[in-house]
Structure 1
Amino acid sequence: NENTKQEIIEAAKIAGISESDEVNFIEMNLQNNVPNGCGLFCYHAIQLLSNAGQNDPVTTLREFAENFLTLPVEEQTLFNTQTRRQIYEYSLQ
């Protein structure tokens, strides 16, 4: 949705992203086998970015998304279950 994208761009500007910086959108449907998984993907994205060092964040996230879509259904489902367990485990600590 173009309105949503524009709102995100405006929020990025308010957060300090300069007008010359491009806001990148990675638009892939990763949730076919991970229902209601948006929070899981956000959690995993934060982990990826925190470990990316000087690597380009857009490339890091795009590569994850592309690779995830090549995984067999069983592995995507396992990602769903394991990530939910991990988040739940951390919440109990």
Structure 2
Amino acid sequence: MLETVQELADGVAARLRSVRLDVDLTQAGLAARSGVTLASLRRFETTGQIALESLIRLAQALGRDADIATLFAPPPAANLDELVTSSKPRRRGRRS
């Protein structure tokens, strides 16, 4: 079942907090290391709300920037036909 925007945001915040604790960083330590204000980090861990640039800075400080870089990566091809189709250039256009 699909999650709500808030559920997704809360999940990302909880996972970031877990990674922060796994590497034994306090909120203040991660804030200092990332350049994100302590207030922004606290708000994120509490509410799931954060600016994208701040989220990227936090991910970089935790060595998890690859997680951000692959956020909208195409899924792997399931078969040869999908691989051939995915390698063809896509047309750009507007969609409603």
Greater relative contact order, per chain length (Cα 8 Å cut-off, separation 6+): 1
TM-score range, shorter chain: under 0.3
Q: Which has the larger radius of gyration?
A: 2
TM-score by structure 2 length? Answer: 0.25
TM-score by structure 1 length? Answer: 0.26
